[in-house]
Amino acid sequence: MPFVTKTFHLDTSKKAFLFIMEVLGCSQKQAQKHLDKNRLKQNHLPIHKSQSIIGDVSLTYFKPTSLNLEPIFITPYFVIYDKPPNLLVHPKGYFEHFSLCDEIKARFGKEANPIHRLDYETSGLIMASIDKKFEAELKGLFENKKIYKTYSAITEGKISSPQIINLPICVPNKITKYQDLGIKCKISSNGKPALTKIFPLNYNEEKNMTLLKVIPITGRTHQIRIHLAEIGHKIVGEPLYGVSEQKAREYLNNKFSTSSPSLMLHAQSLDFKYKNISYHIKSHKYLDFPNIKK
């Protein structure tokens, strides 16, 4: 499971950070992070940095478990996974839900980390660094818009021509996101600039659905999803945008306990240059109308 809590007994006194370093085989900096997050406890009370410990203590830590997901592309610096829908990229709190981090760290070690994010509901390509020393450089490619990303989406209704959706987005802050429906972003003139290009590829008249190529120019949270819903063409399987508040609330309350329909949004390709090598990586999966039940 992603996070486990294990009880230990110490017969002699030891500094808390030294104990964590020995048990987890981590650096002092990482041990201090565990203490900052109150993961070491005695009698249900958190142990602080300067404390020494003796007797019974409990330590909560991330223990990756392989999901048997194979990366589709491997280099000495990074790997690319084709994430299935309804899978977290990072562990969410201490809940016992698997994430892509489980697979990445189980296979490549504790210094391997995802470089960017995809929504839980979104499938497709995601990059992970194999070692911490490559992480900042790779993240810089995304932050500096050096990576060209394309998505595929299937939306409700007919979209006949290419469009640029230019609607600013307000992203929830650390306080509001824990309120009722607070996880949802909003279109607002007070939001940050957000641009999405969409190109219709195919229209299925029987199902009244359009297959799109989507290029996000900016990278706001839920950007593609809220933009398409706002122009009246929500993505098939969308549980948050373009639906009633009641339906959105029901989805969030049961997100991890029920089998939800897949969101028809897929990260299709990544194009970039790294260490003087050009990469053009495409997903092995494609969205198609016959797989969709309306």
| CATH class name, domain 65-144 | alpha beta
Residue 95 is predicted with a pLDDT of: 59
Residue 293 is predicted with a pLDDT of: 52
Each residue of 43-99: pLDDT tens digit?
Answer: 999 998 789 999 999 998 888 888 899 999 999 999 999 999 999 998 876 656 789
Q: How far apart are CA 227 and CA 195, in angstroms?
A: 9
Each residue of 115-124: pLDDT tens digit?
Answer: 999 999 999 9
Amino acid at 3: F
Say if 3-62 and 148-293 have the same CATH topology: no
- Domain positions in the chain are 3-62, 65-144, 148-293
Using alpha carbons, select from 116, 110, 122 the residue that is nearest to residue 83.
Answer: 122
> How many residues would you count in the chain?
294
Enter the pTM of the model: 0.83
Domain 3-62 in CATH: superfamily? RNA-binding S4 domain (3.10.290.10)
Each residue of 20-59: pLDDT tens digit?
Answer: 999 988 889 889 989 998 999 999 999 987 899 999 999 9
Q: What angle do CA 35, 37, 38 make, to 5 degrees?
A: 65
What is the CATH architecture assignment of 148-293? Answer: 2-Layer Sandwich (3.30)
Is 36 an active-site residue?
A: no
Amino acid at 190: N
Amino acid at 12: T
**Active site residue: 119, 180, 271, 288, which one?**
119
Mean pLDDT, the chain, rounded, equals 91
